Amino acid sequence: MPPTVPFNDLHPRFAAAAAEYRAAVERVLGRAWYVLGPEVEAFEQAFAAYHGGGHAVGVANGTDAIELALRAAGVGPGDEVVTVAHTAVATACGVERSGARPVFADIRADDYTLDAAALAAAITPRTRAVVAVHLYGQAARLTDLRAVADRHNLLLIEDCAQAHGARDEQGRRVGTVGDLAAFSFYPTKNLGAFGDGGAVLARDPALAARARRLRNYGQTDRYHHADPGGFNSRLDEIQAAMLTVALGRLDADNAERNRLAERYLGGLALADLPHPRPGCEHTYHLFVARVPGRDAFRSRLAARGVQTLIHYPVPVHLQPAYAHLGGREGDLPETERAAREVVSLPLFVGLTDAQQDAVIAAVNADSLAHRPAA
């Protein structure tokens, strides 16, 4: 039976502001300027202002954003970068494309983000940077990670692809604590484009300027190139125009995600549900529970008409593409346990209460039917 409740549906997000999105596209078409023009500049300024200042650099996608952030800061061949293996593979891909070697450290069991003690244990004389991933809409423990990074004179790069607008315990927006931050605007993100897109955020104008040059072949001005190794990673004008509209709706959309998350938290009969840490603002990019026997659970929910996904079933250190790094099963116990147990339930802007009630009913009926014997 096809799912009656999809895992995600992007139609409502467009429908909620269709006239604004169409006007944005028409504005670009009327100007006939499609690459690195006034729409990109306007979005960069608005995105930086949303984060309280600094400098935003629009790029082609989130993977490029990680690579450019690292390269702008001088990270490259011979360097090591510590990050997590419980993430989209794009995090490690961006590190490798910078020329550096990813080194994986374990996550915390309670929020799936980089464990500061594991980070400290992974540091070697070759370590130059840390990429802290804010996962599922929850901020990593930035105060702890910043302290470790500063103690070892390391760069702190924030991977904010899943946490647009989230705040940590000190009320700081993700992307504002690290030396640089990388964002993805893939369509399913909380701040999603209508195609690929990304951004680098930096407080230091020199780092931002270097990222800006590198995204465009190392160019300073037309036909003059200062930085070797630059490439084409430019945010399109149409995507920037659409993102400016979406940015104006981001806080309201995140509030709606929180409302939906609260309904799940109040209604689901599952033992291990996501909760924001005290003082944090979770943005629930994904609503991820832990379920022992996860694969059978997903099959039963599918039979009841509920579509689910797994983020992520195979940790990066166990992916064939990264076998050359020497990772083995058992290296990262919390990461590997999460990979066996996590399941993502439908949560998106536009999910109706009726659809969500159907999910809750299906999960609770399954939990009752498969409750462990006393």
Question: How much is the pLDDT for 371?
Answer: 63
CB 359 within 8 A of CB 131: no
Question: How much is the pLDDT for 373?
Answer: 47
Question: In the structure encoding, which two tokens stand for residue 124, read together?
Answer: 């070697």
Please report the beta strands in 79-175, taking only residues with DSSP state E, as ranges in sequence order.
Answer: 80-84, 101-105, 127-133, 155-159
Per-residue b or e along 66-92, where b marks 16 or more CB atoms closer than 10 Å to that residue's CB:
bbbbbbbbebeeebbbbbbbbbbbbbb
Question: How much is the pLDDT for 223?
Answer: 85
Which run of H or E residues covers position 50?
Answer: helix 38-50
Total residue count of the chain as it appears in this document: 374
Question: How much is the pLDDT for 3?
Answer: 64
Map residue 103 onto helix, strand or coil: strand
Going from the first residue of the chain to its last (374 residues), give the mean pLDDT of each consecutive group of 10, the final group possibly shorter: 84 95 97 96 98 97 98 97 98 98 97 98 98 98 98 98 97 97 98 97 97 93 88 96 98 98 95 90 97 95 96 98 97 98 98 97 86 53
Q: Quick one: how many helices (H) and strands (E) in the chain?
A: 12, 11
Tell me how far apart the alpha carbons of residues 136 and 108 are, in angstroms, rounded to a whole number. 14
Question: How much is the pLDDT for 374?
Answer: 44
Question: In the structure encoding, which two tokens stand for residue 139, read together?
Answer: 């901020």
Query: Which residues have CB under 8 Å from 52's CB, separation 6+?
Result: 173, 176
CB 189 within 8 A of CB 163: no
Q: What is the DSSP string of 195-230?
A: S--EEEEESSHHHHHHHHHHTBTTEEETTEE-STT-
Question: How much is the pLDDT for 362?
Answer: 95
CB 242 within 8 A of CB 28: no
Question: How much is the pLDDT for 270?
Answer: 87
Q: Give which of 299, 300, 298, 311 is closest to 342, Cα–Cα.
A: 311
pTM for this entry: 0.95
Tell me how far apart the alpha carbons of residues 253 and 240 are, in angstroms, rounded to a whole number. 19
